[in-house]
Amino acid sequence: MKNRLLGIHMIVQNEERHLPRCLDSLKHIGMEFFITDTGSSDRTLEIARMHGATLLHARWQDDFANARNISLPLASTEWVLCLDADEYVPQGLEELLNYLPKVHKSISRLRITIENRYGEGVEESVISQPVRLFRAHQGYRYAGRIHEQLVRSGPSELAQEEAGDMDKSETYTDEQSQLIETEPLAPLCLIHDGYLASTIAKEHKPRRNLKLIERELADEPAQPFHLYNLGVTYCQLGQIEQATEAFSESLRLTELLAPYRSTLVRDYAKTLVGSERYDEAHAILAVERQRYPSYADLHLLYGETLELQGLEERAYQSYARATDCREGMDRVGHSDGGSTLDASYVTEAGSNSYRAYTAMARLAQKRGFLNESAHLYGLALDGMFTYAPAWTGLADVLQQSGETDENIAEALLARCRRIEESGHGDSIRGEMPHSYEVTNEDHLVQVIYVLAGCGAYKQATKMLDTDARTDRIHVADRIHWMLCANRVSEALQLAEEHWSAGCVNEANLLAEHRMDWALACWAKGLRLSEAFLATTLPQEKNVWKVMDRLLNQLTKEPRSMKPASQEQKLMQWGPQAEMVAEKIVQQAVKTGQLTLAEQLHELRAMMMCDHWGTAVTLRREFASLLYRQGYTMVAANILIQCMTESELDAEGLFWLGETLYAKGYYDQALSLFEQALELEPDMRQARAGAAACYLRIAMEALRQELVRSSSAGALAAQHAALEQRLRTAEGIPWRTLFHAKERRNQLASGTNFPMHDREG
């Protein structure tokens, strides 16, 4: 029996990859499907027939509205739902079918919720609530070649709503919701993933869209809605400068009550922030967030802009304001006849909850309010339990608070238990309680990854040893963590067991995995095994053999090693060897095998150096690598040595200056920052560092004068003003950001280089 309540109307072209999922999600007895095909050459038509759809055929005329209107007069149902093939219904279809008969006759259009995914994570999505449901045979049709809009024939009832093939990119979406009380929110949620970065890379949609939008603009020059969509398409194509220009012109021409204007402001501000045009973003958002006070995304963006300008207290307040905004999707109309929204914005998931709380927590941590930071990270996880930045931040702040790795692990596990006890966790039935008292395997695995991510490798591997349910953790991760925990013998044994010839194809063994295997061999003082060499890529096999032989010679008879002749270099150390050597030095530092890293660096230097200058360049490069991994004092010693031999580059001068600044030697730090600016006048970090030094020095001079003349009230006021400016200068993100993993490495002494000696 035919269902006369709801019909699905679609236009498609070569959608064999997406169409089965879409139609399968809409299975219901008697559902009416109209699919208008505009020239498919794949299995699209066959798939549509298998699902019982009525097929219509139309020649593609570069006009989405024309194609979408073909099926509307043929509807035999009361309601029409327009979908795209790259959308599907995860939930709410039955609820929708129960809801529609109860909608008042005066209501002819309904909004639905669409989750536009731009990444693989559950939280990586933008939420919009467009009109996609409308009563059939009520005069509705679509207009516009692209980003077609729903219009009604009656001149007094003209209404616009974006629908159809909407652009929903990673951070920009032009699918907009009407803020009209007569358009309730129906209980249906769609997921759209056709504009994932991976999908865009394979398809031609942005280029196609650009062509159609340019045709629209040729017909209607300076039409603000088309200019807005032009900016969106430029963003998808990675042409940010052109996107910014299009957004700017669109905002200038767009009327204040235009339904897409709030999203235009959001997207324009994002491009400005992404282009480091913070002053312009600040000026726009300071005004527009007052115009849209319940738009969490604008408060979040304003906070980000303020933070990047060093105004951390005001940024914190803006993030807090974002948490006061209610998401429209939380107020879904149900079968009470249609509850409505006061406002509905295109919004990034979590803008008013876990993203904002995480931003607040990050600022609180930076200012030293560690307990408050941990609490805020907890609030973020209450909003989205799988939000990785909040997990990482919580572990980081606990480590900064001085908690042991065992306590950090227990705190993370306790939070997992909370979610399980609340009934939201997917606990495994029938299992005996685990020693860590966490029943959900996903939660346990997540905690182990978070521990490894904050550098608590020993604790992470300890949990691996004592729990049989962690087999889902990739063997490559286990080997890497064991190497970082200095459990070299076990790492080597596991590598030999899993990656020996016959167990893995060389094409399936990633470069970093192969390097970990080699490092485990060399850290044990062993030569590379035949099993290892059998899994190397053919073009790299000789490279590994040469490195293995030279490293063995260097470690056993270092004094016999001399700089290689040009003939030797040509024979055994070409560009391929240099590329492998550079990467393996990086991996050795990353895993904490510093003695081995130094030996490999020395080998590189001997094989590459044609003259003295190259040796200094390589040392600077090595120091740079060490510094970024948190070995600041080790790196500083090398940089100082470079200074005694030749001029240091701007980056090295900055890092030395930053190291001295952290120790309170502001005069010396200032001198280094100024030298860095002489080499690179546009070096923003050095300029901010120099400003902070000037303020510190001036404050100290005023403080000394105040000690001598305590009655000088004007000096006290100047000191307070300088202190405020210093907070701003230090708030600007100019200093190298070190997290828990790097903070652990900062304990390494510059004279005790082999801090992670190999076993036995």
At residue 646, the pLDDT reads 75
Helix (H) or strand (E) segment spanning residue 322: helix 312-323
User: Is 4 in contact with 78 (CB distance < 8 Å)?
Assistant: yes
Query: What is the Cα–Cα distance from 502 to 210, expressed in whole angstroms?
Result: 50
SS3 at position 147:
coil
At residue 469, the pLDDT reads 72
pLDDT band, very low/low/confident/very high, at 757 (cuts 50, 70, 90): very low
Query: What is the Cα–Cα distance from 26 to 6, expressed in whole angstroms?
Result: 11
pTM: 0.86
pLDDT band, very low/low/confident/very high, at 654 (cuts 50, 70, 90): very high
At residue 665, the pLDDT reads 96
- Kindly report which listed range (437-451, 617-631, 743-757) carries the lowest average pLDDT score: 743-757
18-34: per-residue pLDDT in tens?
999 999 999 877 789 99
User: Is 683 in contact with 677 (CB distance < 8 Å)?
Assistant: yes
Two tokens, residue 577: 């060897």
Instruction: Give the residue from 224, 282, 281 showing the smallest Cα distance to 250.
Output: 224
Mean pLDDT of 441-466: 92
Query: What is the Cα–Cα distance from 707 to 310, expressed in whole angstroms?
Result: 30
Q: Is the pLDDT of residue 4 over 70?
A: yes
SS3 at position 142:
strand
Average pLDDT, the chain: 85
SS3 at position 501:
strand
For the 648-760 domain, the top CATH level (class) is: mainly alpha
Q: Is the pLDDT of residue 429 over 70?
A: no
User: Is 111 in contact with 186 (CB distance < 8 Å)?
Assistant: yes
234-267: per-residue pLDDT in tens?
998 999 999 999 999 999 999 999 999 999 999 9
At residue 338, the pLDDT reads 34
Backbone dihedral angles phi then psi of residue 122, each to the nearest 5 degrees: -60, -35
At residue 173, the pLDDT reads 35
Residue type, 731: G
Mean pLDDT of 427-456: 68
Q: Is the pLDDT of residue 541 over 70?
A: yes
SS3 at position 655:
helix
* Axis-axis angle for helices 684-708, 650-662 (nearest 10): 30
User: Is 243 in contact with 234 (CB distance < 8 Å)?
Assistant: yes
281-338: per-residue pLDDT in tens?
999 999 999 999 999 999 999 999 999 999 999 999 999 999 998 644 343 333 333 3
- Kindly report which listed range (118-122, 359-363, 584-588, 592-596) carries the lowest average pLDDT score: 118-122
At residue 204, the pLDDT reads 79
Query: What is the Cα–Cα distance from 574 to 467, expressed in whole angstroms?
Result: 46
185-225: per-residue pLDDT in tens?
999 999 998 877 766 656 678 888 999 999 999 999 999 99
Q: In degrees to the nearest 10, what's the CA dihedral of 172, 178, 181, 183? A: -100
Burial category of 502 from C-beta neighbours within 10 Å (exposed 0-12, middle 13-18, buried 19 and up) = exposed
Query: What is the Cα–Cα distance from 434 to 24, expressed in whole angstroms?
Result: 39
Q: What is the largest CA-CA distance in the chain?
A: 96
Mean pLDDT of 58-68: 94
Contacts of 747 (CB under 8 A, 6+ apart): none
So where are the chain's domains?
404-473, 487-610, 648-760
Query: What is the Cα–Cα distance from 336 to 4, expressed in whole angstroms?
Result: 22
Question: Taking CA 314 as the corner, what is the angle to CA 240 and CA 677, rounded to the nearest 5 degrees?
Answer: 60
Q: Is the pLDDT of residue 162 over 70?
A: no
